[in-house]
């Protein structure tokens, strides 16, 4: 079975600083990987996803993530954050090559951007 | 374009009372539908999913049930709420044949059981 670990429950950064949110997964089969963002009291919105191909994936709002199969990681990065990036970020994994998609989510990382 | 609605947005219910949360999807047909619960500090827990009308799969044993009376309608229910049922409930949909497709989430319902 798949599982996802988000090592940091909260990451405080200053505006315009770079940030990395860590995600590690465990799975014995090929996987698809996702990052979602949740703003306060809202649903989740997809930031980016890795299905296959290039290991560097670019998403919305200037975010990108790199798939590292040997380290089973899919860390999310942004070179310069804005106040508006304050939100909770969830990493998720689904098992590839199945007829039905179930996502397994990490516990989330709260990004706090201050001026 | 597709949209997903959930109501109510917030709900405060006494312990032992019944529950009905509704989710509807517009602009697509034959979606996969999902109910998640988000408890503080615990991420998202998949409660139920459905691949078609009347087809419900439960992920964890609990005090809740789900139904799908119509193709784009998904209902979460309980006969008697417990304090532990408090949380933020999210409905989501994905394309039926889309293994790699994203899930699209509704705005959520915040349930407080007192």
A13-68 pLDDT per residue, tens: 999 999 999 999 987 777 889 999 999 888 899 999 998 888 999 999 999 999 99
For residue A115, what are its two tokens?
């001026």
> Are the CB atoms for A6 and A21 separated by under 8 Å?
yes
pLDDT tens digits, B47-76: 999 989 999 999 887 889 999 999 999 999
Contact A74, A12 (CB under 8 A): no
Are A43 and B90 a contacting pair at CB < 8 A?
Answer: yes
Name the residue facing B108 among A42, A101, A108 (closest C-beta): A42
Distance from CA of A77 to the nearest CA of B (A): 20
Tell me whether strands A10-14 and A109-114 are parallel, antiparallel or unpaired.
parallel
Max avg pLDDT among B4-8, B61-65, B91-95:
B4-8
Structure tokens at A82: 């804005």
Tokens of A72: 């089973």
Whole-angstrom distance, CA of residue A39 vs CA of residue A52: 28
SS (H, E, C) B48-112: EEEEECCEEEECCCCCCEEEEEECCEEEEEECCCCHHHCEEEEEEEECCCCCCCCCEECCCEEEE
CB < 8 Å to A45, chain B: 105
A34 and B107 in contact by Cβ < 8 A? no
Q: Which of A75-79, B18-22, B55-59 has the lowest mean pLDDT?
A: B55-59
B46–A44: do the CB atoms touch at under 8 Å?
no
| CA–CA distances in Å: residue B36 to residues A40, A85, B7 | 17, 24, 14
Q: In a 10 Å sphere around its CB, with 0-12 CB exposed, 13-18 middle and 19+ buried, how is residue A31 labelled?
A: buried
């Amino acid at each position: 079975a798949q599982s996802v670990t988000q090592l940091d429950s909260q990451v405080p950064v200053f505006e315009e600083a770079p940030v990395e949110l860590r995600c590690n997964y465990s799975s014995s089969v090929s996987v698809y990987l996702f990052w979602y963002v949740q703003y306060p009291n809202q649903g989740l919105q997809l930031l980016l996803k890795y299905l296959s191909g290039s290991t560097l994936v670019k998403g919305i709002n200037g975010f990108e993530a790199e798939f590292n199969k040997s380290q089973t990681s899919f860390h999310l990065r942004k070179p310069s954050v804005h106040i508006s990036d304050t939100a909770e970020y969830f990493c998720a994994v689904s098992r590839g090559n199945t007829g039905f998609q179930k996502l397994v989510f990490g516990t989330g990382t709260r990004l706090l951007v201050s001026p | 374009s597709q949209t997903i609605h959930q109501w109510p947005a917030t709900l405060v219910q006494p312990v032992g009372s019944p529950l009905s949360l509704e989710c509807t999807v517009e602009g697509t047909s034959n979606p996969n539908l999902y109910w998640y619960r988000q408890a503080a500090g615990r991420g998202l827990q998949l409660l139920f999913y459905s691949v078609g009308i009347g087809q419900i799969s439960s992920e964890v044993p609990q005090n809740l049930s789900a139904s799908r009376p119509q193709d784009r309608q998904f209902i979460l229910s309980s006969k008697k709420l417990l304090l532990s049922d408090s949380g933020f409930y999210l409905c989501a949909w994905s394309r039926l044949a889309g293994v790699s497709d994203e899930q699209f989430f509704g705005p959520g319902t915040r349930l407080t059981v007192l």
